[in-house]
């Protein structure tokens, strides 16, 4: 996916030309690399010449397959068909020369750590056993990407693997929110030293027009995703719209299932992708997924099939990049109905278990567009980006019926700080009407409410504002403010505000 504004994000893919050669190879038709400059978009005008070095964002990639989304007029594969491997800005650029030695042979190793702290600055609603508190969550990760065309002359072939360790919980749970976690780095993958996120092979053919991937792949790495979203800290935005992970057949980072994905680009600025993702009943549970290294597939109980089309144009003389996506997914895995039992009656009243629904769907429309480019030294992609989108789920099977969001990201607006970024985002979540009806019956009958809510859920909003400071090469620090309207979509809970920060260190 062609990115702009030199964004740095935990999901961190970006568009960069070239295949990554020795750092002393620079040409007059390309911008040269220096530690104080970042080049994320270059239009190749003389492909017969040498290949420029590749400069990637300064955070590890959760979505490496998105590299092949880059429009063909913005990326140059050189004599290879493998997309460029990630090369983030890092603290240790080339210790003892090992980085150059490995990359000259097509091997990329990247390692980073992300930490997120958030604390409530408002008191919670009394009478529900809630509290005002703070929490910290974090992750360390090690990624390995191998260009087998360079290493062993296997045309267009590459492999990707990522392991993480996680710790902590989101502080928003303390004041009653269970829909929009204040820290996206939490959850599955925690409480174990090494957790496998993904391991898959990728084959790029026809000089980038067709890309195939197979292995252990999170569904949401490829679909309804955008690396820009992890400019933010709240899980409503970062990674994917939070409504996307309601359906457990849509495996979400850091957990993956067996999958096959195919992508083609009919034109230089469009793509179409689809795939088959095998759903596993135990995903997010410790028995099957504690380490992520259980590959048996013994709990596979269905398949999810998504389709997504994207348009990635460049507008005007400043070549302002945009990304526009529309997608739809269906699955045939068993789901519990949000309201009815097997006889078509409300299961709260009948006392029978919810009926099983062997079908669910989701749909999404996502967009981001740079509307102003800042011509500042040190960041060729500085600019103002507007973004927005919506996600919809089946009301019969999912808790979040719809999610809508809009925001802006501005990098390089301050000429003396060309890599600093400010971001503002707003998200609205509407709980499924069927789930709301069930929770109202549960409250009436005095039984615990579904999804761990305290009162019936309807809709809620989150506003987040962040300022990411580029401290030094490979290090960022982002003070963060979050405001919850109707926490957990519960009218009975008063609004809450949080202050915190997100820090990131890219070691190599």
What values do phi and psi take at 255, rounded to 5?
-115, 145
Secondary structure class of 316 (helix, strand, coil): coil
Q: Looking at mean pLDDT, say which of 266-275, 311-320, 454-463 comes out highest.
A: 454-463
Using an 8 Å Cβ cutoff, are 299 and 285 in contact? no
Mean pLDDT for 64-79 is 55
CA distances (Å), 130 to each of 6, 173, 342, 482, 489, in order? 40, 9, 36, 18, 16
Sequence-distant (≥ 6) Cβ neighbours of residue 254 within 8 angstroms: 164, 166, 188, 189, 195, 197, 218, 292
Q: What is the DSSP string of 24-47?
A: T---TTSPPP-TT--------S-T
% residues pLDDT > 70 (the chain): 84
Question: What is the token pair recorded at 498?
Answer: 């949080």
Question: What is the token pair recorded at 146?
Answer: 């191998």
- Whole-number pLDDT of residue 458: 97
Q: With a cut of 80, say whether residue 49 has pLDDT above it.
A: no
Q: With a cut of 60, say whether residue 418 has pLDDT above it.
A: yes
- Whole-number pLDDT of residue 68: 47
Mean pLDDT for 298-321 is 93
Using an 8 Å Cβ cutoff, are 112 and 507 in contact? yes
pLDDT band for position 279 (cuts 50, 70, 90): very high
**């072939």: which residue's tokens?**
157
- Whole-number pLDDT of residue 53: 35
- Whole-number pLDDT of residue 439: 96
Q: What is the DSSP string of 206-260?
A: GGGTEEEEEEEE-HHHHSS--GGGGGS-STTTSSS-GGGGSSTTS--TT--EEEE
Using an 8 Å Cβ cutoff, are 261 and 212 in contact? yes
Higher pLDDT residue, 246 or 188? 246
Q: What is the DSSP string of 397-444?
A: T-SEEEEEEEEEEEES-STTSTT-EEEEEEEEEEE-HHHHHHHHHHHH
Using an 8 Å Cβ cutoff, are 199 and 294 in contact? no
Nearest Cα to 119, choosing from 72, 174, 162?
174
CATH assignment, 64-506: 2.40.160.180
Using an 8 Å Cβ cutoff, are 252 and 11 in contact? no
Higher pLDDT residue, 189 or 256? 256
pLDDT band for position 77 (cuts 50, 70, 90): low
Question: What is the token pair recorded at 90?
Answer: 């890092």
Question: What is the token pair recorded at 507?
Answer: 């070691």
Round to whole Å and give the CA distance between 12 and 62: 6
Q: With a cut of 80, say whether residue 109 has pLDDT above it.
A: yes
Secondary structure class of 327 (helix, strand, coil): strand
Round to whole Å and give the CA distance between 315 and 233: 30
Question: What is the token pair recorded at 182?
Answer: 């204040």
- Whole-number pLDDT of residue 214: 97
Q: With a cut of 80, say whether residue 25 has pLDDT above it.
A: no
CA distances (Å), 75 to each of 13, 51, 374, 375, 384, in order? 14, 11, 22, 22, 22
- Whole-number pLDDT of residue 227: 84
């Amino acid at each position: 996916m062609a990115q702009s504004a030199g964004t740095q994000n935990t999901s961190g893919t970006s568009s960069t030309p070239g295949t990554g050669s020795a750092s002393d190879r620079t040409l007059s038709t390309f911008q040269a690399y220096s530690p104080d400059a970042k080049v994320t978009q270059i239009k190749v005008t003389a492909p017969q010449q040498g290949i420029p070095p590749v400069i990637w964002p300064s955070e590890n990639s959760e979505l490496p397959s998105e590299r092949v989304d880059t429009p063909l007029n913005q990326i140059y594969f050189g004599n290879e068909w493998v997309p460029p491997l990630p090369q983030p800005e890092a603290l240790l650029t080339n210790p003892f020369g090992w980085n150059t030695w490995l990359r000259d042979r097509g091997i990329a190793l990247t390692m980073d750590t992300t930490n997120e702290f958030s604390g409530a600055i408002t008191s919670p609603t009394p009478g529900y056993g809630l509290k005002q508190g703070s929490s910290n969550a974090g992750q360390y990760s090690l990624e390995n990407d191998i260009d087998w065309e360079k290493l062993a002359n296997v045309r267009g072939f590459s492999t990707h693997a990522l392991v993480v360790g996680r710790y902590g919980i989101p502080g928003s749970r303390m004041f009653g929110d269970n829909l929009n976690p204040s820290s996206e780095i939490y959850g599955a993958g925690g409480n174990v030293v090494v957790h496998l996120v993904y391991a898959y092979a990728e084959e790029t053919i026809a000089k980038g027009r067709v890309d195939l991937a197979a292995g252990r792949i999170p569904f949401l790495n490829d679909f309804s995703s955008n690396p820009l979203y992890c400019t933010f800290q709240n899980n409503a935005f970062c990674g994917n719209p939070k409504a996307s992970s309601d359906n457990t057949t849509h495996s979400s980072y850091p957990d993956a299932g067996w999958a096959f994905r195919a992508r083609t680009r009919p034109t230089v600025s469009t793509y179409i992708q689809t795939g088959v993702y095998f759903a596993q009943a135990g995903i997010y549970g410790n028995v099957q997924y504690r380490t992520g290294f259980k590959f048996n597939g013994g709990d596979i109980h269905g398949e999810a099939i998504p389709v997504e089309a994207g348009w990635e144009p460049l507008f005007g003389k400043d070549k302002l990049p945009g990304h526009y996506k529309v997608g739809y997914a269906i699955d045939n895995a068993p789901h519990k109905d949000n309201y009815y039992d097997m006889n078509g009656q409300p299961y709260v009243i009948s006392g029978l278990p919810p009926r099983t629904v062997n079908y669910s769907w989701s749909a999404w429309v996502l967009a981001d567009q740079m509307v102003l480019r800042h011509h500042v030294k040190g960041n060729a992609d500085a600019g103002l980006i507007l973004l927005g989108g919506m996600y919809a789920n089946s009301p019969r099977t999912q808790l979040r019926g719809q999610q809508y969001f809009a925001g802006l990201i501005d990098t390089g607006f301050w000429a003396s700080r060309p890599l600093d970024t400010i971001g503002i985002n707003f998200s609205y979540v509407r709980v499924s009407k069927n789930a709301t009806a069930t929770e109202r019956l549960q409250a009436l009958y005095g039984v615990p409410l579904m999804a761990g809510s305290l009162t019936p859920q309807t809709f809620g909003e989150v506003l987040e504002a962040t300022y990411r400071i580029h401290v030094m090469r490979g290090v960022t620090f982002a003070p963060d403010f979050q405001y919850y309207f109707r926490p957990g979509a519960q009218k009975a809970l008063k609004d809450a505000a949080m202050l915190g920060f997100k820090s990131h260190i890219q070691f190599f």
